[in-house]
């Protein structure tokens, strides 16, 4: 981390904040504001860190937002993201050499691969210079952040979680949020679909405790590797070797059989109970909503080790854009070749950050036959982490660049009809809150590779249309029309909901000559003219099977918060929002410098 800070300083990509700041809300609020700035703002180093509740002043700085720009990603990777993707493509398509020259070339390439395998060292590492064992273990010696007011406690947000299968044959590196319960107990939020959860099942069946070692810091690429969507059983640290051309150098944990990189800043070791669970959460998550209390495994900490000179790496999540925007960009580019092995006619794909990644994927393909796009939908919904995608739009090779949202949306809407839609059911991310039941819900695919012939509606002005709509639905508060020049304009209606929205949709069917796609959102906490945050709200709040209505050429989408009016009996979570008195305090001290227009745009 020390080298990382120096490297970012060399490129003028880091900002030091020397004001005394609290691990409770203040530091994460500032990091949250910084990442909203143009190009992700700066990486931040907080040098004067305290916990006012306990009266603790920490020796180490807290480092945040290290990945939160495209430029910083490439600085930390040490090469262009495209070059890594090209290397993976080359490996996947390697063929037997046909001549002596090709044999020599291949030998060089294969020889370089020897460095991708992690190397186990004898003895102890830098990460074990300071040791706390047994009664000396105290998680409160680490500056773990409490990010949001409703959070269940402090959470480690950039932990590298090292686990192994019960037989020791497979190892895994993952990233999961980790709740600090007390001085020696840590919550493990590994969701049911994750590799560590599969290992946990093996220990549980055997009636044995599960060893876990958690690293924080070191080379930021260790942390990125923890997020890499590699196939089950593949060691994520192989990616570190592939990228850097140097093997990850590992040392054995003191009290578990697991190996961790020798140069990380902290290691938390322990054993997970497999016969009992603890209530974990709430936690303000990257969906922009709080994930609610649920039972999860927990770890009894047996050792904490650290460097003498150390820095604590953390991230902040909530409403987009976030640091994961940039980490996700790198991941998408790097693993595109692996996705193409399942869908060879895929040209490109993109996951907009304001849809929370898994909530929407845009994909460009070369359609070769009728139903090809639907085949892609099934392929995506059945492949690894892509299986969590809720909404997928497929376009042909003539579509605009996927990141050019204005042109792309125009292209889609000029080709769309209700016939373009395919609604299915499948698994969902555990963080999804909108489906009628946890982990399973509706999925929407749109085939925009086919251009349907649709006549544009007779448009009215917003005020005139609002008058007609309010006569039919008195609860409506306001209305705004987007993409008016297309054949399928989008009408966003804000409403104080008093009945099921399907009834409201039915009431305005007679306006189908004026309206094509209508989206209902709650009047509270929404700005109907803010398209960025409206997409965030819609992609989070709908279940395609329940919340999409069709009548002729007219489509309705219910993106309101769900309750008993919708026969919804799960608890609906709150939005993640900044604590006003914390923001005011930081402003009064001259530390908060986020422009008010950005604060409103991202509904902080």
d(CA 121, CA 147): 37
Q: What are phi and psi of 575, to 5 degrees?
A: -65, 150
- Region of poorest pLDDT, from 24-33, 119-128, 238-247, 257-266: 238-247
d(CA 126, CA 128): 5
Torsional class of 573: left (φ above 0), alpha (ψ -120 to 50), beta (otherwise): beta
> Quick one: CA torsion of 249, 255, 256, 262, rounded to 10 degrees?
-10
**β-pairing verdict for 210-216 and 160-164:** antiparallel
- The residue with greater pLDDT, 297 or 103, is 297
State the DSSP H helix or E strand holding residue 280, giving kind and residue range, or none if neither: strand 278-280
pLDDT tens-place string over residues 312-351: 999 999 999 999 999 989 988 988 888 888 888 999 999 9
Mean pLDDT value across residues 583-602: 95
- Which structure tokens are listed for 533? 């945050």
CA nearest neighbour of 418 among 458, 377, 452, 369: 452
Residue 592 has pLDDT above 90, yes or no: yes
At residue 418, the pLDDT reads 97
Residue 53 has pLDDT above 50, yes or no: yes
At residue 30, the pLDDT reads 98
Mean pLDDT value across residues 298-316: 97
pLDDT tens-place string over residues 78-98: 999 899 888 888 776 555 655
At residue 511, the pLDDT reads 96
Residue 555 has pLDDT above 50, yes or no: yes
Residue 224 has pLDDT above 90, yes or no: yes
**β-pairing verdict for 210-216 and 312-314:** unpaired
- Which structure tokens are listed for 600? 């409103």
At residue 103, the pLDDT reads 54
CB 597 within 8 A of CB 312: no
Which CATH number does 462-566 carry? 3.40.1670.10
**β-pairing verdict for 185-187 and 155-156:** unpaired
For 493-533, give the DSSP string.
Answer: EEE---S-HHHHHHHTGGGTTT-SEEEEEESTT--TT-HHH
- The residue with greater pLDDT, 298 or 114, is 298
Residue 491 has pLDDT above 60, yes or no: yes
Which CATH number does 2-314 carry? 2.30.110.10
SS (H, E, C) 351-414: CCHHHCCCCCEEEEECCCCCCHHHHHHHHHCCCHHHHHCCEEEEECCCCCCCCCHHHHHHHHHC
At residue 231, the pLDDT reads 79
CB 164 within 8 A of CB 195: no
At residue 143, the pLDDT reads 98
What percentage of the chain has pLDDT greater than the value 90?
Answer: 84
Residue 369 has pLDDT above 90, yes or no: yes
- The residue with greater pLDDT, 537 or 233, is 537
Name the pLDDT band for 9 (thresholds 50, 70, 90): very high
Q: Bridge-partner residues for 6, per DSSP?
A: none
Query: For the chain, how many residues are written?
Result: 604
pLDDT tens-place string over residues 496-521: 999 999 999 999 999 999 999 999 99
pLDDT tens-place string over residues 177-213: 999 999 999 999 987 777 788 888 999 999 999 999 9
Torsional class of 528: left (φ above 0), alpha (ψ -120 to 50), beta (otherwise): alpha
For all residues of the chain together, what is the average pLDDT?
93
Residue 106 has pLDDT above 50, yes or no: no
Residue 310: strand, helix, or coil? coil
Residue 450 has pLDDT above 60, yes or no: yes
Sorted by sequence, the CB contacts under 8 Å of residue 59 that are 6+ apart come out as none
At residue 110, the pLDDT reads 53
Residue 383 has pLDDT above 80, yes or no: no
- The residue with greater pLDDT, 109 or 281, is 281
d(CA 481, CA 507): 19
State the DSSP H helix or E strand holding residue 49, giving kind and residue range, or none if neither: strand 49-51
Residue 71 has pLDDT above 60, yes or no: yes
Residue 44 has pLDDT above 60, yes or no: yes
d(CA 593, CA 604): 14
Apex 519 CA angle, 404 and 529, nearest 5: 60
User: Domain extents for the chain?
Assistant: 2-314, 343-448, 462-566
Residue 547 has pLDDT above 50, yes or no: yes
CA distances from residue 342 to 31, 190, 384 in whole angstroms, order as listed? 38, 27, 11
Residue 316: strand, helix, or coil? coil
Model-level pTM?
Answer: 0.93
Provide the CA 82 distance to its chain's centre, in angstroms: 21
Sorted by sequence, the CB contacts under 8 Å of residue 443 that are 6+ apart come out as 381, 389, 390, 391, 392, 423, 424, 425, 426, 544
**β-pairing verdict for 391-395 and 440-448:** parallel
Residue 136 has pLDDT above 90, yes or no: yes
What percentage of the chain has pLDDT greater than the value 70?
Answer: 96
pLDDT tens-place string over residues 479-489: 999 999 999 99
Mean pLDDT value across residues 286-305: 95
d(CA 421, CA 324): 29
The domains spanning 2-314 and 462-566 adopt the same CATH topology: no
State the sign of the Cα–Cα–Cα–Cα dihedral 156, 162, 164, 170: positive
d(CA 334, CA 145): 31
d(CA 28, CA 143): 12
At residue 105, the pLDDT reads 56
Fold of 343-448: UbiD C-terminal domain-like (3.40.1670)
State the DSSP H helix or E strand holding residue 296, giving kind and residue range, or none if neither: strand 294-296
């Amino acid at each position: 981390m020390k080298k990382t800070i120096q490297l970012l300083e060399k490129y003028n990509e880091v900002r030091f904040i020397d004001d005394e700041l609290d691990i409770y809300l203040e530091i994460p609020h500032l990091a949250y504001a910084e990442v909203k700035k143009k190009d992700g703002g700066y990486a931040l180093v907080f040098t004067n860190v305290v916990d006012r509740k306990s009266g603790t002043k920490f020796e180490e700085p807290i480092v945040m937002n290290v990945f939160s720009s495209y430029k910083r990603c490439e600085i930390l990777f040490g090469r262009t993201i495209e070059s890594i993707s090209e290397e993976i493509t080359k490996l996947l398509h390697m063929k037997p050499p046909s001549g002596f020259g090709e044999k020599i070339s291949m030998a060089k390439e294969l020889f370089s691969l020897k460095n991708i395998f992690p190397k186990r060292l004898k003895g102890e590492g830098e990460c074990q210079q300071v040791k706390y064992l047994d009664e000396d273990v105290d998680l409160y010696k680490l500056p773990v952040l409490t990010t949001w007011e409703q959070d269940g406690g402090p959470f480690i947000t950039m932990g590298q979680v090292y686990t192994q299968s019960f037989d020791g044959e497979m190892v895994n590196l993952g990233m999961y949020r980790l709740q600090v319960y007390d001085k020696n107990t840590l919550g493990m939020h590994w969701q049911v679909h994750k590799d560590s959860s599969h290992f946990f099942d093996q220990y549980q069946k055997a009636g044995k405790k599960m060893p876990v070692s958690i690293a924080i810091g070191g080379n930021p690429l260790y942390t990125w590797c923890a997020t890499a969507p590699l196939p089950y059983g593949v060691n994520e640290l192989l990616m570190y070797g592939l990228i850097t051309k140097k093997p990850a150098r590992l040392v054995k944990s003191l009290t578990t059989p697991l190996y961790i990189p020798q140069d990380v800043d902290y290691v938390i070791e322990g054993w997970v109970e497999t016969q009992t669970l603890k209530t974990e959460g709430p936690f303000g998550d990257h969906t922009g909503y709080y994930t609610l209390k649920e039972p999860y495994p927990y770890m009894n900490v047996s050792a904490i080790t650290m460097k003498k000179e150390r820095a604590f790496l953390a991230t902040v999540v909530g409403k987009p854009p976030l640091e994961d925007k940039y980490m996700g960009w790198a991941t998408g580019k790097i693993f595109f070749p692996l996705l193409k092995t399942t869908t060879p006619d895929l040209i490109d794909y993109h996951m907009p950050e304001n849809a929370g990644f898994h909530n929407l994927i845009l994909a460009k393909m070369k359609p070769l036959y009728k139903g090809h796009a639907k085949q892609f939908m099934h392929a995506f919904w059945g492949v690894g982490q892509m299986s969590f995608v809720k909404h997928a739009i497929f376009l042909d090779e003539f579509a605009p660049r996927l990141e050019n949202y204005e042109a792309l949306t125009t292209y889609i809407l000029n080709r769309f009809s209700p016939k373009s839609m395919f609604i299915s059911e499948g698994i969902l991310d555990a963080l999804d809150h909108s489906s009628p039941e946890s982990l399973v819900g509706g999925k929407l695919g749109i085939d925009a590779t086919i251009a349907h012939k649709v006549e544009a509606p007779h448009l009215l002005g917003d005020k005139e249309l609002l008058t007609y709509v309010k006569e039919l639905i008195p609860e409506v508060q306001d209305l705004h029309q987007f993409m008016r020049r297309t054949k399928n304009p989008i009408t966003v209606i804000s409403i104080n909901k008093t009945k099921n929205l399907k009834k409201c949709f039915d009431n305005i069917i007679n306006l189908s000559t004026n309206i094509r796609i209508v989206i209902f959102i709650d009047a509270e906490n929404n700005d109907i003219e803010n398209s960025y945050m409206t997409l965030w709200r819609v992609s989070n709040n709908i279940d395609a099977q329940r919340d999409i209505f069709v009548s002729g050429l007219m489509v309705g989408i219910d993106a309101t918060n769900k309750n008993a009016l919708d026969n919804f009996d799960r608890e609906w979570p709150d939005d993640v929002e900044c604590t006003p008195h914390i923001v005011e305090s930081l402003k009064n001290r001259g530390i908060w410098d986020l422009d008010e227009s950005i604060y409103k745009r991202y509904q902080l």
